[in-house]
Structure formats: C-alpha cells, structure tokens
Amino acid sequence: MATTEDIPAFGLLHGYRVVMIGLSVAAPFAAELYAEHGADVIWIENPAAPDMGRFSSFGGSTQQDRRNMRSLALDYLHGDGRAAFLSLIATADVFIEASVGGRFEHHGLGDEALWKVNPGLVIAHISGFGQTGDAVYVRRASYDPIAQAFGCTMRMNGIPGHKSVPAMCFPGDYTSAFYAFSMTLAALLKRTETGKGESVDVAQFEGLIRTQANYPTNYWRFGKDYVKEGSHSLICALYGTYVCGDGEEVYVLFLGPGVLKRGLPLIGLEYGSDLFPEGAGIIPYGSPAGAVAEAAFAQFLAAHTAAEVEDILANGGVPCSRLMDYEAARANEHYAARGVVDTWKASDGTTDILGVKVVPDLARNPGRVWRGAPAIGQDNEDILHELGFSDDRIAALYAAGQLARRDYDHSFKDPETEGRAGD
C-alpha cells in the first residue's frame, strides 16, 4: 500500500496527479510515462474484471507498463463508487481513458460534467475511431491491429505477393499513447495561462496515418500509391535485410553520398567509377549498378558472420545492425553501458522483475522505478482515506461489490509453474 507521502520526490512531473482508466496498452503506457517521471498515477481497475494484461503473456505488459502506479479497484459508474471517482477527479491534473468513442459521455461523465467538478482537468480520450465523426465508426470497438487495418498501415507490412500482416509491436497503441502524453503535457502548459483544462481526442487510426511520412500525400496529390517492399527497398540497392555467412541477419542502408564513399570500398567496389559516380547518393535498385552492388555484397556477406559484417560496416560509417534478440541485447556491451536492462521489485516485495529502464535519460531530473506494478486494488484504502472516506464508507463499498482488493498478483510469475491468478 502507498499513500501520496510514500511517493518519492523525483523527476520532471512530481506533484502532478494522473487518473487512468484503460486496458491493454495505449492508456496505461501514456499514464506510465507520467509515473516514470514522478507523477502520482492512480490506475482505476474494474473490481469484477481486472486488467487482462495481468494474466496474458506472463503479465509482462503489466509489470513493464504499470510500474510506479497506485491501484484503485473501483466501480466508478454507480452509487458511492461514482462519488468516489468524482472526488478523485477533483484532485487530478490529468485524466486518461481508453474506450469506445462516446462511452464516458453516455454514462454522464463527459468532458463538461468532469469540468464542473474540476475546471482545470486535462482529459485524454483514446479510442480506435475518435469521439466525433460518423456515428457508425465512433461506436466501433478497436484494438491495435484494427487501427492498423483502417489507418492504411497493415497493407504496408509483409512480403509482396502474400497476405498483409500487422506491424509489431503495437504501433497504433504506442503512437496513441505518445500523442496522449505529449498533448496533455502541452495542455498543462496552457493551463498555467488560462486556468482551464483541455480535452484531447486521440483516434488510433489517425495517429497511424499521420505517421506515414510522404506516402499519403504522394497518393492524394500525384496518384502514386505505396508498393509493399517486404524486406528490401524497391528504390535503393544495398538497403534491406540480408543473411550473413553464419545464417544470422543484418539490416543495412547504403544511402547518401558519404555512406557510399565510405562503404563501397569495404565491399570491394570503387566509388567515383562510372557505375558509382562521385556525388551519387543512392544506387538505384534494379539498375546495372544495383545488380553489381548486390552481387558484390552477396560475396562479402557469405565470407563473414553477422557480427563481423556489423563491425566492418557500422564502424566504417555504414548504417548497419545485427537483428538483435532479447538474449543478445542483455549480453550487449552498449545495452549494459547504458543500463537498458533494469531490475525492480514486484508487488510481493521480493520477486525481481527484469525489464527496460526508464527512457530517455535526463541529466538533471531523471525518472526512476520506485515501485513495481501494484496488485489489484492494493491502494484502495490509502487513496480513499486521502479523499476523506471513512472506514465505514469504504467498508460499505466493499460490501456492495463496488470496491475490490486481491492481495495476490501472479502477473510476475511463470504460469507454467505458478498457475494463473485465482487457481
């Protein structure tokens, strides 16, 4: 359990309070970015149906993306639970929720209702299709792959001639989370001038189509559509995924005059020749020069391991990296030097959780992990007491099923050896 006083003072966002309601990835990650930098983040869970992230994929998403939070397992829509929610909103700076568009308005908790309680509240709604627009779409449910499909992203991924596949890992969710985080921060800055809150309408599909560089404009202006590339650029030679002599893969980009000047001699080709003239920035894919370059590179790759290819090319000025897996990352000297693999305690206080550190690094006000993901409703009493609820009133919420606490948390256990929560 943790009170406000138990939250250490650190980071750029200490002193702010964020309330978050959302499953899966988008809303929790947006709130997590606040939590990692010192804000008091209160995660409201459904007391009857805990976050499914606790029980899927070993609970890793919960442990990584709900750390530093406090958990309030509350029915916030009905009875005294609704009163508790509004009391909490009155103390908050930011409210982040993810649901089908219009859900909070439908329940009488729309923006205007929340601003009556807290005029300075900054609100972020995250949904697949937005809060406004065609009502048929606004009501649609969505997860990351649905947003990828509707947002013109999924058709860009996969091998030409084969079915399109969703991009990993969850770009629609994480893009939405970054938009929600950044724009609520901007709204907090504006609030210092006006004293008034703001409402941010984040539609997953819009975030995805907005981050597709030049491709939408190319089509809408010139009729030039995106052509699925797969593992190799269809524009440039020596730009894509390649298999090395040991069967491991690297990704390489021979792109730009400086890179070609430094890189071509490394694979036995002459920069400044007729095929590769001085000042050239790309080697066109499918051209005679491209064919020569690809053939020379194939010989180079066959004679070296992926580690050797990366060492020769990357240290020679050519953008190149082995395709790392998690084991390679943990053993890598640069990962180790930057402390990327971090360790913190789970909610049982004893189990070590390994995951990714707080990023990015900050020189003067660094973020930190001070607490693992909370157990379900772990902080109910502390939060409600801070809101002025008496023990009797809290007990009544428990008795009515509007509040729940489960002291176990299997989300950091191996389900093959520990069993699922409730087993």
Neighbours of 237 (CB within 10 A): 21
Write out the two tokens for 304: 């070296």
Question: Which amino acid is located at 228 in the chain?
Answer: K
**Which one-letter DSSP state was computed for residue 375?**
P
Residues in the chain: 423
DSSP string, 11-46: STTTT-EEEEE--SSHHHHHHHHHHTTT-EEEEEE-
Catalytic residue, candidates 173, 201, 379, 409: 173
CA torsion through residues 409, 83, 126, 46, sign: positive
Residue 99: CA count within 13 A, CB half-sphere: 14
3-state secondary structure 381-394: HHHHHHCCCCHHHH
Give the C-alpha separation, 29 to 178, whole Å. 8
Neighbours of 120 (CB within 10 A): 16
Query: Which helix (H) or strand (E) segment is 188 a member of?
Result: helix 171-194
Write out the two tokens for 284: 């066109």
What is the chain's alpha carbon radius of gyration, rounded to the nearest angstrom?
A: 25
Give the C-alpha separation, 115 to 207, whole Å. 26
Give the C-alpha separation, 309 to 320, whole Å. 8
Write out the two tokens for 94: 């930011």
Give the C-alpha separation, 305 to 250, whole Å. 10
Give the C-alpha separation, 111 to 104, whole Å. 8
Query: 3-class DSSP state for residue 100?
Result: coil
Q: Please answer whether residues 75 and 46 qualify as being in contact, where contact means their C-beta atoms are separated by less than 8 angstroms.
A: yes
Is 325 labeled as catalytic in the residue annotation? no
β-pairing, 122-127 vs 198-203, is parallel
**Which one-letter DSSP state was computed for residue 170?**
-
Q: Please answer whether residues 145 and 24 qualify as being in contact, where contact means their C-beta atoms are separated by less than 8 angstroms.
A: no
Q: Please answer whether residues 66 and 32 qualify as being in contact, where contact means their C-beta atoms are separated by less than 8 angstroms.
A: yes
Write out the two tokens for 333: 């000297």
**Annotated active-site positions, please?**
173
